[in-house]
Structure formats: structure tokens, C-alpha cells
Amino acid sequence: MARNKFDVDEELEEGFNASHLKRIFVYIKPYQKPIYITLFVILLANIAQMAGPYLTKIVIDQTIPNQDYTELFWIAVIFILSVVVTGLCMRYRIFSITVIGQDILKDMRTAIFSHLQKLPFSYFDSRPHGKILIRVVNYINMLSDLLSNGLINLISDILSVIVTLGFMFAIDPTLTLYSLALVPVLFLIVMIIKTAQRKAYQVLSNKTSNMNAYIHESIAGIKVTQSFAREEKNFEIFSDVSDAYRESWMKAVKIQFLLWPGVQNIAVMTTCLIYYVGIRGLGVDVSTGTLIAFVGYVGNFWNPVINIGNFYNALITATTYLERIFETLDVEPDIKDLPQAKIMQPIKGNVDFNQVYFRYEKGKDILKGTDFHVEAGESIALVGPTGAGKTTVINLLSRFYDVNDGEILIDGENIRDVTLHSLRSQMGVMLQDTFIFSGTIIENIRYGKLDATEEEVIQAAKIVRAHDFIKDLKDGYHTEVKERGSTLSAGQRQLISFARTLLANPRILILDEATSSIDTKTEVLLQEGLEKLLEGRTSFIIAHRISTIKNSSRIFYIDNGQVQEAGNHDELMAQKGYYYQLYQAQFDLLQAL
């Protein structure tokens, strides 16, 4: 997957096609019943509305010349009734359309959100998160009008056109044909601007996405920005991104608004044509009542036609958002259960990496035939230079990525052959960038084991020595923390996520720089608690501090995509190889301080 940046337009893998429209119906289908009821109400409103011009015609051509006051009274009553029915129906229609539209949008939003939860790390690596966010929030909202008013209005407008035409044909078929004379001109206008409009909206959606990505990145990196006093430069970048958005917006709107005056003019021209035909009598002999009724009907006819034109316009615009939404929904999670995947049995903890090759990007192998065997219950420390591939090893073990070649076995079972859930639910992974969610501390610790009791939470916190600082907080375990834990120190955040990892009672524990921000005194206490807990469990620990890993059963020195040295601390020290040099370097540094 090609990487994308905030100022690079995303290329569409597959453009819009008719099947996208069909797919919208998947979301509409569950709401068939309320839609049919609404349509029936709309039909009722149309018929009631259409009665107006027809009653006017009767009054002018028949009731007034005959001076029939009883008929006039009843026509007035029917007229008032038709207005009341129309009003009530319209009210129902607005309410019901809004509810149906919002329900459909909610379903789409939920579908895209739950799909995103299943996508692998590689999907999130490949684009700015702001560009993902915009699909779930903004693009779905952009469909709001189309799905709430647009779709039902379309059907209602089509019904309205049919009912109006029915009334018109019933009164005078020839005059009706004159009224339709300019419809082809409308189609022509719509067709001409269609392609330009679609392209303009595709550009607009890209520029919106770029701007969103930059805002998202800027907020996430605000502390770095301010500490480097880079606000001005960022402002310049934002101005450029924002200008590009503004330009694309102006262009798209200019094209879109070409349609409206065109349609308005055609409607006026049709009314003129009706008067002209009526006065000149071009092949038709129309009474004054018919002429007045027709002018009313022409209004009733062109309003929905204009709406249909606008719907088409909105549809073209919406397609640019739909193609992005469906593109996201169509991303196949490449890390997923095989059809014949088995349930991973309770893990004992034997781990094998057999000639594992892996790369994040083509042509740049990170692991080049990594090969090792770990016995159940061993604690393994991974050391090596920055960027050597230590995190990559544990990412592969948790199957966040799949190996390109070779295999990884746990208790002799290839991890590709078991279900992700049964595998990951038995592993406790604490990643380098600890993440704290907004909510209370207890909710954060319980994140991976929702049914854990308060006692279990406290027990886990005690083992990692987090209990002492948590109990001193204002509301103890029920203290609210902000997203990313900005009200906590880095060490406190690590202790909370440590407790979260332990609470899940994993069979294999993976700690990536889990104690890097914790003071050495707390770390020593934490190690004591951990040692008991780790008895009989396999663990992988990545740490740069030698004191953290010294007591591991074995230490793997990883470099150049392979395990270069393996053994316990004493063995490796005696070997006087890479690990020895690393130890000496840290020792010398400490001496120098």
C-alpha cells in the first residue's frame, strides 16, 4: 500500500460505478416499511395539492358563470380540506424523512467504524489518520441530505410529476405536450455539466481530506510545535492547504450552480409558452379556467422537475463521497482468520521463529531469516541497536503483521492457522507508545478484561507498583483521565498500561520498553512483583536499560535482521561480543555521569 501524506491527494483505487448506487440500497432496505408509509402520505399530499388548480378551473368555467352558490360553498370546503390534508401530510413527511435518513446514516457510520476496527496496522501506517477520520464523520454527513430528504423527495417528486401530468392530460392533452416541450433542454444542461461537476467534487473531497489530515497532525503534535516555536511555519502550511480547499470549493460550487438558473429559466419560459399558446390558440382551444389551471400545473410540474435536477446534482456530488466510503469498506483486512482457522488451545509458551523474513515496504527486508526457539516459561530479552527490528519481532508474534516468508509457531502451531481472537486473547502486549483512553483509571486498567472485579484491578496495580500513586489521586481508581492521559506523567501512564496488560492474565507477556519512563527504584520493586507473576509464563521484554534485562533467562542480541547472539547475561558477557560492548557502553556512560 503506497504511503500518503497530508499534502498528497489520495488516488482512487476504483472510481464510482453503478454498483455503488446499488450498494446504498443495502442500507436503505431495512427501512422499506417506513419508506412505503411515507410515500403513501406523500401521494396523499400530492393528490390533495393537485385538487387546487382543478377546483379553480371548475369555479371559473362552471360555478361562477352558473352562479351556483351551493357548489361554490362545497368547493370552498373541499379546497380548505385539501390545504389542511396537504399541511398535515407535509409535516409527517418532514419528520419521517429525517428519522429514516439519520437511521440509514447511523448504520453506514457503524459499518465503516466497525470495519476500521478490523483493519491491520499496515492500513493505518499507510495514510494520515485525519484522512481516515474524515470518511467516518464528514463524508457520511455529506450524504445526510441525499439520504434523508434527497431520496424520499426524489420518489415524492416523481409521484408529483406523474400526478400533475395525469391531471394535465385529463384537462388538455395537447396543452400538456406544449408544457413538456422544454424538458429535453433541461436534460441537455444536466448532461453537459455532469462530468465537470463530478471531477470538481473529487478534487474538493481530496482537498478537504488533506486539510483535515493537516489539522489532525497539527493537534497531535502541538506540544512539539510549540516547543520548537514553529507556529508561523505551520500557519504558512495551513494557509496553503486551506487555499487549495477554498479554490476547489469555489470551482465545484460554480459548476453546481450553473444548473439552477438554467432550470428556473426553462420553467418561466414554459409558463410563457402556455400563455402564448392559450392566447394564439396554436391548435388548441382553451378556456380561461383551463389556462389558469395549466399555469398552476406548470408550476406544480416544474417544481418537482427542478428538484429532480437538483437531486441528480446532489447525487453526482455524493458519489465522490460514496466512492471513498465504499473504498474503505472494501479494504480487505489482510490479517484475518483463514477459513479453516482453529481455536488456539491454552498456550504453554513454546515459541519458534523459523527462518522468518519480513518487510514493511518492498525492497527493504527488516528480518532476514530470523531463527530462534524459546522454551515455555523462558523470559527473553531483546536487545540491539535502534531500528534493528526488535519491535518488529513482537509485532509478528502477535500477528499484527504477517511474515513474508518462514513461519512462527506457538506450541508447534503456526499462528496463521489459529483464530486471531484465540491467539491475541492469550497474549499481553504492552506497546512502546502506551495509550490512555479518556475515562477513569479503573476503566483504563479494565480495558482488556471488562469483567474484572475492582479487587483484581487493584491487585494488578499493586504488582506493577501503580497502586501507591493511584490511591493518592483525588478520586483514587475512579479519577477521570483525559485522552492520551495528558494529566498523568509518562511513568504513571506506563504503570497503568502495565497493570492493564497484566490484568488480562496473558499466557505470553510482551513488553516493549514498558519501563523506560519509570524511575529505577520503582522499577526494582516492579521487577520483584513481576518475577512471581511471570513464573511459568513466556515473556519477551525489549528494554535499553541493561538493569531491566539482566535477569532474563536469555538475551537475544538482534541486528541486521537476525539474532546475532543468544544466551544469559553471564554467558554473553563471557563471550565478549555485541552484548558485552553494549553493557560496557552503558557502564562507561554511568561512570562518566
Ligand X SMILES: Nc1ncnc2c1ncn2[C@@H]1O[C@H](COP(=O)(O)OP(=O)(O)OP(=O)(O)O)[C@@H](O)[C@H]1O
The footprint of ligand X (CB under 6 A) covers 125, 360-361, 366, 384, 386-392
Q: How far apart are CB 388 and ligand X at their closest, in Å?
A: 4
Q: How far apart are CB 327 and ligand X at their closest, in Å?
A: 21
Smaller CB separation from ligand X, 513 or 523? 513
Smaller CB separation from ligand X, 1 or 188? 1
Q: How far apart are CB 158 and ligand X at their closest, in Å?
A: 51
Q: How far apart are CB 404 and ligand X at their closest, in Å?
A: 13
Amino acid at 476: G
- What whole-number distance in Å separates Cα of residue 446 and Cα of residue 497? 10
Residues 6+ apart with CB under 8 A from 408: 351, 352, 353, 354, 356, 396, 397, 399, 414, 415
Smaller CB separation from ligand X, 262 or 384? 384
Q: How far apart are CB 219 and ligand X at their closest, in Å?
A: 22
Smaller CB separation from ligand X, 204 or 383? 383
Spatial contact of 334 and 122, defined as CB atoms under 8 Å apart: yes
- What whole-number distance in Å separates Cα of residue 131 and Cα of residue 138? 10
Smaller CB separation from ligand X, 361 or 454? 361
Q: How many CB atoms lie within 10 A of CB 212?
A: 23
**Alpha-carbon distance values, 572 to 439, 555, 560, 590 (Å):** 45, 8, 18, 20
Spatial contact of 218 and 129, defined as CB atoms under 8 Å apart: no
Q: How far apart are CB 403 and ligand X at their closest, in Å?
A: 14
Spatial contact of 343 and 505, defined as CB atoms under 8 Å apart: no
Q: How far apart are CB 444 and ligand X at their closest, in Å?
A: 24
Smaller CB separation from ligand X, 371 or 468? 371
Strand-strand pairing, 364-374 and 351-361:
antiparallel
Smaller CB separation from ligand X, 142 or 430? 430
**φ/ψ bin of 119: left (φ > 0), alpha (ψ from -120 to 50), beta (otherwise):** beta
Smaller CB separation from ligand X, 122 or 568? 122
- Three-state SS string over 227-244 comes to HCCCHHHHHHHHHHHHHH
Q: How far apart are CB 113 and ligand X at their closest, in Å?
A: 23
Question: Residue for cell digits 465504499?
Answer: 326
Smaller CB separation from ligand X, 175 or 558? 558
- What whole-number distance in Å separates Cα of residue 94 and Cα of residue 149? 8
Alpha helices in 415-475, H assignment, sequence order: 420-424, 441-445, 454-463, 467-471
Residue 381, strand partner residues:
541, 555
Q: How far apart are CB 587 and ligand X at their closest, in Å?
A: 19
- Edge-to-edge strands of the sheet including 508-512? 427-430, 508-512, 538-542, 379-383, 554-559, 562-567
Q: How far apart are CB 163 and ligand X at their closest, in Å?
A: 60
Smaller CB separation from ligand X, 129 or 233? 129
Alpha helices in 281-371, H assignment, sequence order: 288-329
Backbone phi and psi for residue 372, each to the nearest 5 degrees, phi listed first: -160, 160
